Amino acid sequence: MPIDTSGTFKLGARSVKRLGYGAMQLAGPGVFGPPKDRAAAVAVLREAVARGVNHIDTSDFYGPHVTNQIIKEALHPYPDDLTIVTKISARRGADGSWIPAMSPAELTQAVHDNLRHLGVDVLDVVNLRSMLDVHGPKEGSLEAPLTVLADLQRKGLIRDMGMSNVTARQVADGNKITKIACVQNQYNVAHRDDDALIDDLARDGVAYVPFFPLGGFTPLQSSTLNDVAKGLGATPMQVALAWLLRRSPNILLIPGTSSVAHLKENLAAAEIDLPDDAMAALNGIASAA
Ligand SMILES: NC(=O)c1ccc[n+]([C@@H]2O[C@H](COP(=O)([O-])OP(=O)(O)OC[C@H]3O[C@@H](n4cnc5c(N)ncnc54)[C@H](OP(=O)(O)O)[C@@H]3O)[C@@H](O)[C@H]2O)c1
């Protein structure tokens, strides 16, 4: 299949294709409530798997519960090679706000909610998503919540643990509690705070999964992206993904979309081989930002 072109990388105990899918866009506006068109959301997930995607990122706080329920409706019973990664540490207020939920009882409840809504006995990968600052990594101890999740991992409810929205120090401290299989932070061609962390994780064979690979709620806009895309006969979003694929072999992509057309476009980025001069031009975007 075309997405095989960009290869695989280890995500905990398994290998997954480097082009995956992020399910956050399948909930309603503001990642709250049901989507406008549930059948369309189901269709996006089925198309992703039909095109070879075997890594889907989700959370029970998308909706809340909505995204996981749609994944179950669309794909259960799951293909043997599908890895579903969820994240835990927040709940949603009645107004859609994101509220930290990192007490032992809340974390345990969240693991059981994910198991039930996804319809599985074991969660493939759980990211502890730091809520010390909702908007970005902030130093501070995550020992208490990680210890709770590591305990649930030992009980067999979680296969692999990851961390999200975290600093390099928090990852190093996390590894003293349980093996951290992946890190999921904000990163893209224009937002490169994690350059050093990515290289360190690559050296250790640990997956780095950038969220907002296309810019998230503010999609990337750059004349350099447009120019490179034009020269290659690709779209700017495809070039942004191809840049990430070439940036480091441990980067796994989970671009989010609610549209089958965008999904097809994004997966086709696996076949783009960025030439050195395009890479150099794109590397200039972050320093110019
Ligand atoms: N750990 C965390 O804290 C965290 C935070 C945010 C997200 N995530 C995860 O990361 C995944 C990716 O992030 P994201 O979905 O927020 O952001 P993203 O992948 O950077 O971008 C998604 C946005 O780009 C649009 N889009 C997608 N493909 C496109 C294309 N080919 N052309 C034009 N527009 C396109 C989508 O709209 P359409 O629906 O119209 O295509 C959507 O508005 C999420 O699904 C979620 O699983 C994790």
- Work out the mean pLDDT of the chain and round it to a whole number: 97
Q: Is 62 a catalytic residue?
A: yes
Buried b (16+ CB within 10 A) or exposed e, 212-241: bbbbbeeebebebbeebbeebebbbbbbbb
| Rounded Cα–Cα distance for residues 167 and 184 (Å) | 11
What residues have CB less than 8 Å from 116, skipping those under 6 apart? none
* CA–centroid distance, residue 144 to ligand 1 (Å): 30
Q: Average pLDDT of 103-119?
A: 98
Instruction: Give yes or no for a contact between 199 and 249, defined as CB atoms under 8 angstroms apart.
Output: no
| pLDDT beyond 90 at 114 | yes
DSSP assignment, residue 5?
Answer: G
The arrangement of strands across the sheet holding 180-184 comes to 21-22, 55-57, 83-88, 123-129, 158-164, 180-184, 207-208
Ordered structural domains, the chain, with CATH: 2-218+247-256 (3.20.20.100)
- Is any atom of ligand 1 closer than 6 Å to the C-beta of 167? no
* CA–centroid distance, residue 22 to ligand 1 (Å): 7
- Tokens representing 156 are 């067999």
Catalytic residue among 21, 62, 78, 208: 62
What residues have CB less than 8 Å from 46, skipping those under 6 apart? 74, 75
Q: Average pLDDT of 119-132?
A: 98
Q: Indicate which residue's Cα is closest to atom 29 of ligand 1.
A: 262
Backbone angles phi, psi at 232, to 5 degrees: -100, -5
Q: Where are the alpha helices (DSSP H) in 55-165?
A: 66-75, 104-118, 143-154
Instruction: Give yes or no for a contact between 201 and 176, defined as CB atoms under 8 angstroms apart.
Output: no
DSSP assignment, residue 122?
Answer: S
- Is any atom of ligand 1 closer than 6 Å to the C-beta of 23? yes
* CA–centroid distance, residue 284 to ligand 1 (Å): 23
* CA–centroid distance, residue 76 to ligand 1 (Å): 23
Neighbours of 143 (CB within 10 A): 14
| Rounded Cα–Cα distance for residues 144 and 91 (Å) | 18
Q: Where are the beta strands (DSSP E) in the chain?
A: 8-11, 14-17, 21-22, 55-57, 83-88, 90-92, 98-100, 123-129, 158-164, 180-184, 207-208
Neighbours of 178 (CB within 10 A): 18
Per-residue pLDDT tens over the stretch 230-289:
999 999 999 999 999 999 999 999 999 999 999 999 999 999 999 999 999 999 999 766
Instruction: Give yes or no for a contact between 21 and 30, defined as CB atoms under 8 angstroms apart.
Output: no
Question: Which H helix or E strand runs over 196?
Answer: helix 195-203
Is the bond preceding 77 in cis, omega lying within 30 degrees of 0?
yes
**Torsion over CA: 19, 24, 25, 27 (sign):** positive
| Rounded Cα–Cα distance for residues 58 and 212 (Å) | 13
* CA–centroid distance, residue 21 to ligand 1 (Å): 9
- Is any atom of ligand 1 closer than 6 Å to the C-beta of 62? no
| Rounded Cα–Cα distance for residues 41 and 257 (Å) | 9
Q: Average pLDDT of 177-184?
A: 98
- Is any atom of ligand 1 closer than 6 Å to the C-beta of 185? no
- Is any atom of ligand 1 closer than 6 Å to the C-beta of 215? yes
| Ligand 1: nearest atom to the Cα of 217 | 43
- Is any atom of ligand 1 closer than 6 Å to the C-beta of 61? no
Q: Average pLDDT of 79-97?
A: 97
Rounded percentage of the chain residues whose pLDDT exceeds 70: 99
Q: What is the pLDDT of residue 289?
A: 61
Residue to mutate, 19, 21, 25, ligand 1, most ligand atoms under 8 Å from C-beta: 25
- Is any atom of ligand 1 closer than 6 Å to the C-beta of 11? no
